[in-house]
Amino acid sequence: MRGRQNDRIVLTTYGRSSGFCVDPIEKKPLNHYLPGTPVLSFGTAGCNLTCRFCQNWDISKARQFDRLQDAASPEDIVEAAIATGSRSIAYTYNDPVIFLEYAVDVARVARRRGIKNVAVTAGYIDPAAREELYTFMDAANVDLKAFTEAFYNRLCTGHLGAVLETLEYLKNKTKVWFEITTLLIPGHNDSPEEVKKLSEWVMTRLGPDVPLHFTAFHPDYKMLDLPRTPAFTLTTARDIARKVGLLSSTPAMSMTSEAKARTARAAVSGSSAEIGMTSPLGGSQGTAAAVFAPPQSLACSRRTRATGGSGASRSGSADWNALE
Ligand code: SF4
């Protein structure tokens, strides 16, 4: 995704997207940031991880520009967000880490126009680049894909420690609102022991007020031979996290019934269980959710099976029609 041009390394995917879509923000998933509002989502191609369960593998593994169908300048994207009534822009589908320069330029323009910026990411990023990215982000959903180095090494070609560093960075060095997503894959990261260790780490290193979403795996890419995650696994994980203190230590802010209904509709191929906490925007923000009325004028050009970004963790469908 980067190449040499005139003796400089450039982002060759700059200004081109693999698709746009207007989503409810709960689909990222972010349940406590601007609840009930639409978000304009877009991504490019490529990824710096190689997850064998990637639900956006068609773009995260793309090397060619054939997945980059839509040309859009930062100004064009912000205009589209405003025109569609979106309150924020999500850098998603693959991972903003892989198109950082483009994401930062869009985010700069968005901030000037009063639009918020949301990173949907695996959190696998070098410290210097991390600071540059999150200077311009207002919220993030970060995958914590598992709690063993073996999982990251074997299934993603990455390292757990780098992701934990990003989460601690967000907590201790920024004002970015963030939530965590863990995709529970049968037999790989769904044991009660591992869920307990992961939850304890979140509790002790990040605190009880960081929402943790458990989402359901469906067979995809190179992991077609596994079953879907049963609902029981998700509710068991939620119970474990609650016992660790993630829910009981802080009063939960419930999603509005409308937001719950939307999220349920979005979870086409699986269910999710969230350990949710307080909103950074205060109580009134959480309860004053606007009715989400998807702007019909923007056809969703994104056609993949995953809902969110950093592809793997979002069960469901990004297909616009699936939301209706
Ligand atoms: S699951 Fe996310 S981080 Fe992993 S390869 Fe796919 S897009 Fe990249």
Condensed to tens digits (0 to 9), the pLDDT of residues 128-141 reads: 999 999 999 999 99
Is the pLDDT confidence value at 64 over 80? no
Which pLDDT does position 65 carry in this prediction?
52
State the Rg of the chain over Cα: 18
CATH 3.20.20.70 fits 2-281+300-323, yes or no: yes
Of residues 100 and 62, the one with the higher pLDDT is 100
Q: What integer is the mean pLDDT of 162-172?
A: 98
Which pLDDT does position 172 carry in this prediction?
98
Is the pLDDT confidence value at 232 over 80? yes
Which pLDDT does position 271 carry in this prediction?
39
Half-sphere exposure of residue 56: CA atoms within 13 angstroms, side-chain side: 33
* Residue 203, ligand 1, Cβ within 6 A: no
| Six token digits for residue 198 | 């992961």
Q: How far is the CA of 49 from the centre of ligand 1 (A)?
A: 6
Please give the number of the atom of ligand 1 that sits closest to the Cα of 313: 1
* Residue 146, ligand 1, Cβ within 6 A: no
Which pLDDT does position 12 carry in this prediction?
87
Of residues 242 and 261, the one with the higher pLDDT is 242
Q: Tell me which H or E stretch contains 128.
A: helix 127-135
Half-sphere exposure of residue 190: CA atoms within 13 angstroms, side-chain side: 21
Is the pLDDT confidence value at 319 over 90? no
Is the pLDDT confidence value at 90 over 60? yes
pLDDT tier at 16, thresholds 50, 70, 90: confident
Half-sphere exposure of residue 324: CA atoms within 13 angstroms, side-chain side: 10
pLDDT tier at 258, thresholds 50, 70, 90: very low
Is the pLDDT confidence value at 314 over 80? no
Q: To the nearest whole number, what is the mean pLDDT of the chain?
A: 81
Which pLDDT does position 32 carry in this prediction?
94
pLDDT tier at 48, thresholds 50, 70, 90: very high
Which pLDDT does position 3 carry in this prediction?
85
The number of residues making up the chain comes to 324
Beta strands in 85-167 (DSSP E): 88-91, 116-121, 139-143
Q: Strand, helix or coil at 306?
A: coil
User: What's the CA dihedral at 179, 183, 187, 189 to 10 degrees?
Assistant: -20
Is the pLDDT confidence value at 105 over 80? yes
Is the pLDDT confidence value at 295 over 70? no
Which pLDDT does position 240 carry in this prediction?
96
In Å, what is the CA distance from 169 to each residue of 164, 183, 274? 8, 22, 22
Beta strand 139-143 pairing with 177-184: parallel
Which pLDDT does position 311 carry in this prediction?
56
Is the pLDDT confidence value at 302 over 60? no
Question: pTM of this prediction?
Answer: 0.82
* Residue 45, ligand 1, Cβ within 6 A: no
Q: How far is the CA of 273 from the centre of ligand 1 (A)?
A: 21
Is the pLDDT confidence value at 207 over 50? yes
* Residue 311, ligand 1, Cβ within 6 A: yes
Nearest to 194 by CA among 179, 204, 206, 182: 182
Which pLDDT does position 44 carry in this prediction?
92
Nearest to 97 by CA among 62, 128, 72: 128
Is the pLDDT confidence value at 24 over 70? yes
